[in-house]
Amino acid sequence: MSASIRRRAALALPSIWASLSPAALHAEQTPWSRYKQRFVTSSGRVVDTGNAGISHSEGQAWGMLLATIHDDRPTFERIFRWTRANLAIRGDRLLAWRFRPIGGVDDINSATDADIFHAWALLRADERWPGEGYRAMALAIAHDILRVSCRQIGGRTVLMPGAWGFDHGTHLVLNPSYYVFPALEALAAAHPHPAWPALIAEGERMLLEARYGRWSLPADWVMLRRRGGPIEPEPVRGDRFGDDAVRLPIYLAWSGRWQAPLMRQVDSFWTDPAHPYVPAWVTLSENRIAPYPASLGHAAILRLARLRVAVTESGQAAATDLGYYSSSLALLAAAAAAEGTDRGERRIAALRP
């Protein structure tokens, strides 16, 4: 990656959060401090404000990861303690995925992307604050991800989205956005096992094969049939490039895969001049766009995919909310821009003769 791209990525960081600066956002506050105030309780529960105030393993793991990125040990420990006390109840090292403010955990199934982020956050915490046993916990989680959530089908090594509920006999239901490339690479380095490179390769293969619709975009959910054949959109939840698949450019950039075709495809979709606004999602069977514009988090991902600063000045990508998910995506995109530039340069250098 060239020096000019590095400079553009650095410039993109403050711009990602420019639209998060209304009068109510005081100058002394950072995006991370604002995030904590809005979504992290004093006990360490990360609240999904757009989903009836629930908490889930994804949000807890993201909160822990973001705390390591921002060198915020007190917040990390607060979120970590709440997570261990309330979600680490399954009998293995994976987390129960959903906690309701009234009633507590009502579904102890796991969410594999959250478990991957959880292990990665612990590895990063051990690097920042060694001596607390975080690395040993991360390795135990990594072991159970492979034991519980890794499956062989038709010569492919795939990630099951959870411990159960996604194997339908004739086919598996998978989620491409669960292949969190930078985290998988970190786990492969810390916990050597042949399954990790196989999973990484499968994630890359899936993004090349599972492209649909006018803009050749991945689906939120896909099916892989046991008898073989192409990867297909899952008919109930998979006819969209939406809230799940939209995370993939973050993970590609974070791992240095800036040249992946998906980055150009996302750019082409969101900047199509035929759109009256930057759409939040598109149906892949009919190429029908959302009837409302993309959120702040989507705008941050678009900046990341383009490495451009002035994307929202026309108002097309106006933020429709400042909720938990949108704000989380924006912070993750900022981290990907900051950390993915060096990885991209190393990846390109490794390919040179």
Looking at the domain assignment, is residue 219 inside a domain? yes
Looking at the domain assignment, is residue 129 inside a domain? no
Q: Rounded CA gap, 79 and 83, in Å? A: 6
Q: Are 213 and 241 in contact (CB under 8 A)?
A: yes
- Residue whose structure tokens are 């689906």: 219
Q: Are 270 and 302 in contact (CB under 8 A)?
A: yes
Residue 292 exposed, middle or buried by CB count within 10 Å (0-12, 13-18, 19+): exposed
- Residue whose structure tokens are 């994307």: 311
Task: Look up residue 15 and give its two tokens.
Answer: 């711009």
What integer pLDDT is reported at residue 341 of this predicted model? 78
Q: Rounded CA gap, 177 and 116, in Å? A: 12
| Total number of domains constituting the chain | 1
What CATH number did the domain enclosing 327 receive? 1.50.10.10
The packing angle between helices 3-16 and 296-306, to 10°, is 170
Looking at the domain assignment, is residue 244 inside a domain? yes
Looking at the domain assignment, is residue 343 inside a domain? yes
Q: Rounded CA gap, 260 and 287, in Å? A: 22
Residues 149-175 pLDDT 10s: 999 998 899 999 999 999 999 999 999
Looking at the domain assignment, is residue 201 inside a domain? no
Task: Give the global pTM.
Answer: 0.89
Looking at the domain assignment, is residue 149 inside a domain? no
Strands 240-241 and 171-174: unpaired
What integer pLDDT is reported at residue 149 of this predicted model? 97
Task: Look up residue 28 and give its two tokens.
Answer: 């002394």
What integer pLDDT is reported at residue 351 of this predicted model? 57
204 is catalytic: no
Q: Which of 48, 72, 113, 185 is catalytic?
A: 113
- Residue whose structure tokens are 């750019």: 267
Instruction: Give the CA count within 13 Å in the CB-facing half-sphere of 225.
Output: 7
Looking at the domain assignment, is residue 145 inside a domain? no
* Distance from the Cα of residue 280 to its chain's centroid: 16
Task: Tell me, letter by letter, the H, E, C secondary structure of 197-265.
Answer: HHHHHHHHHHHHHCCECCCCECCCCEEEECCCCCCEECCCCCCEECCCHHHHHHHHHHCCCCCCHHHHH
Q: Rounded CA gap, 69 and 95, in Å? A: 22
End-to-end CA distance of the chain: 16
What integer pLDDT is reported at residue 305 of this predicted model? 86
Task: With residue 151 as reference, give the H or E element that holds it.
Answer: strand 150-153
Range of the domain at 230: 1-23+30-37+210-347
Please tell me whether residue 244 adopts helix, strand or coil conformation.
coil
pLDDT by position in tens, the chain (length 353): 444 444 444 344 344 334 333 443 344 589 999 999 999 999 999 999 999 999 999 999 999 999 999 999 999 999 999 999 999 999 999 999 999 999 999 999 999 999 999 999 999 999 999 999 999 999 999 999 999 999 999 889 999 999 999 999 999 999 999 999 999 999 999 999 999 999 999 999 999 999 999 999 999 999 999 988 899 999 999 999 999 999 999 999 999 999 999 999 999 999 999 999 999 999 999 999 999 999 989 989 998 888 743 333 333 333 345 799 999 999 999 999 999 977 766 765 665 55
Looking at the domain assignment, is residue 135 inside a domain? no
Q: Please give the radius of gyration of the chain, using alpha carbons only, rounded to the nearest integer.
A: 19
Q: Rounded CA gap, 281 and 69, in Å? A: 29
Q: Side by side, which strands form the sheet with 232-233? A: 171-174, 222-225, 232-233
58 is catalytic: yes
Q: Are 41 and 97 in contact (CB under 8 A)?
A: no
Burial 8-26 (b: 16+ CB within 10 A, else e): bbeebbebbbebbeeeeee
Residues 296-333 pLDDT 10s: 899 899 988 887 433 333 333 333 457 999 999 999 99
